[in-house]
Chain A
Amino acid sequence: MTSTRSATLFAFALLAPALIYILTIVAYPLVDTIVLSFTNASLRQDYDFVGWANYQRIFGAGNFTEVIIRTFIWTFFSVSTKMVIGMLGAVLLNAAIPGQALFRILTMPPWIVPMAIGIYMWAWMYNGQFGMISGLLENFGITNGPIAWLAYGNTAFWATIVTDVWIGVPMVTIYFLAAMQSIPRDLHEAAWTDGAGRFYRFRRITVPLMVPAIITMSLLSLIATFNSFDIIWILTQGGPSGSTTTMIIDTYKTAIGSRKYGEGAARAVVISLFVTAFCIVYFRAVRKLQQGEAK
């Protein structure tokens, strides 16, 4: 019943609403971005095609390369920290000790709460004069005076990473936990019978069997982090003096802030190219992992 022509028609009828919706709200804007990137569109209704001028301008200005590199460094540290803490959290939550169920629930809030609200709380914690982090460090005698974390380029850069990690960790942890629990218990029991210790079993059983989960999560997390907007926008708006301006923030400032739609679109196209490259890597990896499973 599945291969007949009427079945195909029926399938497409079922798909039609989703397809039309996505084509209108995602695919069309994507094409429109590419078209706009070759124009000098702004707030005015009419605009002209300007060829590669936008691209020449953004790559000629010099700071765009800097923004790209900054985005990659920001993304790299955020994603790798998320993976490490997520794995640690999964190991801790996987241990059969009293309170386990409660601890798992307590891990979730940053994921469920509106992101912006969590970020408001961080904005206060980073406050230089009266915030918690600066205050506690001072009270414990680790620092001498208050530190305004978001006021200096260097600290602001790391502060935004920490907040991004905080938002991402719950999901990574729970995903890794699920992967950890899908490892057949027999394997652990067999190794345990042979005298293998916990750490040895973690290294030789848990980690190798979790490689697919780790790869999948790293790539998904990479793409999400690369596109991160809310955190930086709320905490620093890309400042101080551009030190937290990632590609997304840069695009937003150009397009929505300065109303340079054409140039903003060109910047968005560059982001899309990177995202497409990540997508290709992701699909390849998924296919490889599936083939590995089939064997």
Chain B
Amino acid sequence: MSDVARTTEVAAADSPASVKPAAPRARRGLWSASRPMIDRYKWYEVAALYVGLFFFLFFVLSPFIEGFLVSLKPLAQLFSRPYSFIPKTWSFDAYFTMWQSVPALGMHIFNSFFISTVVTLIVVVIVVPAAYAFARFNFAGAGFLLGAFLAVNMFSGAVLLIPLFRLMRTLGLLNTYWAMIVPGAAFLIPSSVWLLRTYLMRIPRELDEAAWVDGASRLYTLRRVILPLAMPGIVVVAIMTFIGAYAQQFIFALTFNSKTEFMPLPVGLFAFFGKQEVIWNELMAASFVGILPVMIVIIFLQRYLVAGLTAGAVKQ
């Protein structure tokens, strides 16, 4: 999947209020009387649900489990048969030796984080006014432009690679951070415009009009009335953009940059495949260490994400 896929989070986020926290219901016992009758399951239904969930989550998570176990197996054991899922001897060596195999690993981890952060900043600065314009003003061509923005989503960076390469070369951006940041942001703007526009449309128009009657300028209204109310929505857009930018760092980084010191994590680790023999345990160890900081941040922000989607000023 490319950029487009991840942008469908817009659609997913369109109906965010519906993702109700189900915790209170789940906390009651399965068969307790306080549980609504309609939610009561027979024992075999519960069993079937858990078996189904087991297979579903096994499919989703097995690469991570296997990857983690691989990072704990010594290379000799990894390349031995018969296969054993659980390591016979546990070893954390890969987590130490990987720093020699990929000297720039720390740099790659930082680059991934840095590129996504700058992309997010650019997108938010550009998207907030644009989304406001689409949400509030019925200017001529608004519908067409909005559609055009959505269409941009459909073209992946891979199709436009050749002219983008030429453009980056002309602008002198090849082999810099910007070669990855500039195109990366472009393909994340449209979906963010759509997402934030939906959010802004839920803020009552009367607020703008009241500010207008009180003599506030349009820009002042945007800055002082709308922005504070839209903050939860902007945070959601920022998080979605960050995830998008973080998850897709590959093709631009692979094509527009050849300097090791600017490579983000995915491309930095791609170098493992160029060697005679792929050192899998180190590759997996480096992957896990590399994504850990951002995973923690995202898990931490996930609550804020749900809160931002369901609560806030928009509900009035």
Contacts and interface: CB of A to CB of B under 8 A. Distances in A.
A283 to B, nearest CB: 6
Contact of A224 (B1, B64, B287): B1
Contacts of A129: 79, 81
Interface string B135-166: 01111101001010111101110111111111
Q: Which of B9, B59, B125, B137 has the most chain A CB atoms inside 10 A of its CB? A: B137
Q: Which of B20, B35, B59, B182 has the most chain A CB atoms inside 10 A of its CB? A: B59
Contact of B8 (A11, A181, A220, A268): A220
Contacts of A132: 62, 66, 83, 85
Contacts of B280: 124, 127
B189 A22 contact: yes
Contacts of A135: 81-85
B161 A107 contact: no
A28 B127 CA distance: 20
A135 B70 CA distance: 13
A220 B11 contact: yes
B139 A114 contact: no
A230 B6 CA distance: 14
A226 to B, nearest CB: 9
B82 A139 contact: yes
Given A26-B186, A101-B21, A117 B83 contact: no
Contact of A97 (B26, B62, B78, B266): B26
Interface in A225-255: 225, 227-231, 233-234, 248, 251-252, 255
B267 interface: yes
Given A227-B2, A275-B155, A117 B11 contact: no
A174 B151 CA distance: 23
A105 B46 CA distance: 20
Contacts of A8: 137, 139-140
B88 interface: no
Contact of A22 (B9, B52, B83, B149): B149
Overall SS of chain B's interface: helix
B119 interface: no
Contact of A279 (B22, B151, B167): B151
Overall SS of chain A's interface: helix
B154 A32 contact: no
Interface residues of B, number: 125
Contacts of A88: 52, 56
Contacts of A268: 159-162
Given A97-B50, A252-B161, 6 more contacts: A14-B130, A14-B132, A125-B63, A227-B156, A256-B161, A271-B159
30 contacts: A1-B209, A7-B218, A11-B139, A18-B129, A18-B149, A18-B189, A21-B185, A30-B160, A92-B56, A96-B22, A107-B57, A111-B247, A112-B246, A114-B249, A114-B291, A116-B249, A127-B280, A132-B83, A168-B5, A181-B20, A188-B38, A217-B11, A220-B4, A220-B8, A223-B4, A230-B250, A248-B159, A256-B162, A271-B159, A279-B151
Interface of A: 1-3, 7-8, 10-15, 17-19, 21-22, 24-26, 28-30, 32-33, 36, 85, 88-89, 92-93, 95-101, 103, 105-107, 109-118, 120-125, 127, 129-132, 134-136, 138-139, 146, 164, 166-171, 174-175, 177-179, 181-182, 188-189, 192, 198, 216-217, 220-221, 223-225, 227-231, 233-234, 248, 251-252, 255-256, 261, 264-265, 268, 271-272, 275-276, 278-279, 282-283
